């Protein structure tokens, strides 16, 4: 007797007790629904964090100059001019895990265009031509400055969207001349919108100029504040950190027993920790949801046991006319798997509905992946097999004579 025939027998048996079948399914529906909804919330949060990681740039690390100690007072990171553009070149040249490097020089000052003026909250940043690549931040209009602009300390700038909106009132800024710290700069590009960073700071409220221009024309310094580094891959950021540390200790001739005169910050690291904690939370919630699936499975087992007892005579008839015990076992197993699988499919629908409602009412990002749907349905079928096996075995082990005599 083939599976399809057994399946039809099972379906008919289930449809005879519609109320009971649907109540039994309800346990699985709630369980799977909870798993899907919770998984959706968790994956939504995770996706948000992932996009923030991507927002930080391409596998990015920062090298900051070290702290200065003056009369016992330590000034904190970036207070001592230990990093140079040569260090940045060396990092790019000699660290295999590093893909691209840009020196960074920070400046502040008032921006003026026509009768408007503005102070960029994210400051004026000096960088080289690789900035858009390293920060994963392309220009939306115009273009970025070139290596030649960097070499010649050209007075050109690329502005963020917020600057364009405030200083130029949203009108075309390309080719216009604005004044930064009273020096005229030609606007050659507008960056695409990046939005807020993880700390709520408006990243679009910034101006990017060649770092050489910031060094010479704004700060009158020869050092740089930081080096922006892009590693070859997300997993290479740790290797890159080590290679940079070793290289700079060597270049700065730091004895083995002394501290670094620089800091390497691995941003991916921080973000991944946040991601990991969100994953732990998701797993925790998912296991609670899994428990409700388990309870649904016990409900199936309960009902199947009742059903086997009620249908003892039917089992006896089927055995007397030649059903092998394996066929009887399969029939009941298919009934329980059908209950749990159909419940699982409805549960997926309920879970998707719930996560849509959650994201609409609470504003949490949710993401239900096809994989989680497939896993949920397969898992609910496994629940059916697991909890249906014992009742099915019980049915198959009945003695036909006793079963026929059962009232």
Partner 1 sequence: MDTRVIAEQERAADSLVEPALIRLDHIHKIYQMGDIEIHALRGISLHIDRGEFVAIMGASGSGKSTTMNILGCLDKPTRGHYILDGQDVSQLSKDELADIRNRKIGFVFQGFNLLSRTSALENVELPMLYLGLKPAERMKRATEALEIVGLSERMHNMPNQLSGGQQQRVAIARSLVNHPSIILADEPTGNLDSRTSIEVMDVFQRLNQERGITIALVTHEPDIAQYARRVVIFKDGRIKRDEMVETTRSAREELESLPPMEDDDEEDEE
Ramachandran quadrant class, 392 (left: phi over 0; alpha: psi -120 to 50; beta: rest)? alpha
Q: How far is the CB of 9 from partner 1 (least distance, A)?
A: 8
Residue closest to 35 by CA, chosen among 359, 339, 350:
350
Applying CB under 8 A, the span of 67-75, 81-89, 315-323, 345-353 interacting with partner 1 comes to 315-323
Among 135, 318, 329, 330, binds partner 1 (CB under 8 A): 318
Both tokens assigned to 383? 């629940």
Size of the site for partner 1 (CB under 8 A): 22
Least distance from partner 1 to the Cβ atom of residue 19, Å: 15
Q: List helix spans (H) across 96-236.
A: 131-134, 147-151, 161-167, 211-213
Taking the CA atoms of residue 398, residue 335, residue 302 and residue 34 in that order, the dihedral angle to the nearest 10 degrees is 160
Chain residues 322-361 in contact with partner 1, contact rule CB under 8 A = 322-327
Work out whether 321 is an interface residue with partner 1 (CB under 8 A).
Answer: yes
What span, in angstroms and rounded, lies between the C-alpha atoms of 238 and 308?
A: 60
Under rule CB under 8 A, residue 319 binds partner 1 = yes
Task: Considering only CA atoms, give the Rg of the chain.
Answer: 33
Note whether 309 binds partner 1 by CB under 8 A: no
* Single residue of 109, 234, 290, 400 touching partner 1 by CB under 8 A: 400
- Residue whose CB is less far from partner 1, 157 or 398: 398
Q: How far is the CB of 4 from partner 1 (least distance, A)?
A: 10
- Does 210 participate in binding partner 1 (rule CB under 8 A)? no
Report helix, strand or coil for 156: strand
Residue 264's beta-bridge partner residues?
Answer: 63
Question: DSSP per residue over 306-328, as a string?
Answer: HHHHHTHHHHHHHHHTT--HHHH
Q: Does 310 engage in binding with partner 1 (CB under 8 A)?
A: no
Give 143 or 310: the residue with its C-beta nearer to partner 1.
Answer: 310
Positive or negative, the CA dihedral 357, 362, 365, 366 is: negative
**Which C-beta is closer to partner 1: that of 74 or that of 405?**
405
Q: Using the rule CB under 8 A, is 315 a contact of partner 1?
A: no
Q: Which positions touch partner 1 (CB under 8 A)? A: 1-2, 5, 12, 16, 313-314, 316-327, 400-401, 404
């Amino acid at each position: 007797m083939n599976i399809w025939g057994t399946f039809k027998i099972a379906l008919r048996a289930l449809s005879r007790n519609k109320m009971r079948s649907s109540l039994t399914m309800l346990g699985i529906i709630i369980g799977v629904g909870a798993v899907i909804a919770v998984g959706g919330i968790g994956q939504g949060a995770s996706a948000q964090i992932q996009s923030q990681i991507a927002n930080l740039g391409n596998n990015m690390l920062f090298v900051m100059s070290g702290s200065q100690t003056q009369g016992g007072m330590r000034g904190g990171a970036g207070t001592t001019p230990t990093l140079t553009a040569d260090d940045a070149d060396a990092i790019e040249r000699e660290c295999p895990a590093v893909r691209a490097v840009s020196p960074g020089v920070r400046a502040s000052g008032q921006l003026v265009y026509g009768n408007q003026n503005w102070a960029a909250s994210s400051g004026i940043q000096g960088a080289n031509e690789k900035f858009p690549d390293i920060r994963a931040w392309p220009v939306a209009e115009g273009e970025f400055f070139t290596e030649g602009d960097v070499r010649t300390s050209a007075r050109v700038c690329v502005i963020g969207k917020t600057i364009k909106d405030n200083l130029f009132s949203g009108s075309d800024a390309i080719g216009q001349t604005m004044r930064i710290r009273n020096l005229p700069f030609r606007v050659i590009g507008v960056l695409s919108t990046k939005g807020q960073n993880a700390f709520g700071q408006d990243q679009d409220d910034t101006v990017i100029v060649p770092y050489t221009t910031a060094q010479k024309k704004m700060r009158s310094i020869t050092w740089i504040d930081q080096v922006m580094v892009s590693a070859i891959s997300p997993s290479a950021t740790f290797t890159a950190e080590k290679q940079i540390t070793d290289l700079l200790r060597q270049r700065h001739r730091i004895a083995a027993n002394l501290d670094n005169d620089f800091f390497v910050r691995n941003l991916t690291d921080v973000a991944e920790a946040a991601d990991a904690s969100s994953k732990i939370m998701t797993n925790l919630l998912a296991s609670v949801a899994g428990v409700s699936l388990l309870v649904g499975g016990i409900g199936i087992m309960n009902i199947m046991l009742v059903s086997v007892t009620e249908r003892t005579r039917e089992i006896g008839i089927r055995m007397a006319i030649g059903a092998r015990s394996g066929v009887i076992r399969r029939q009941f197993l298919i009934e329980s798997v059908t209950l749990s699988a159909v419940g699982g499919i409805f549960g997926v629908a309920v879970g998707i509905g719930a996560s849509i409602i959650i994201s609409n009412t609470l504003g949490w990002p949710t993401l239900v992946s096809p994989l989680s749907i497939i896993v949920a349905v397969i898992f609910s079928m496994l629940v059916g097999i697991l909890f249906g096996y014992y009742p099915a075995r019980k049915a198959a082990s009945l003695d036909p004579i006793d079963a026929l005599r059962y009232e």
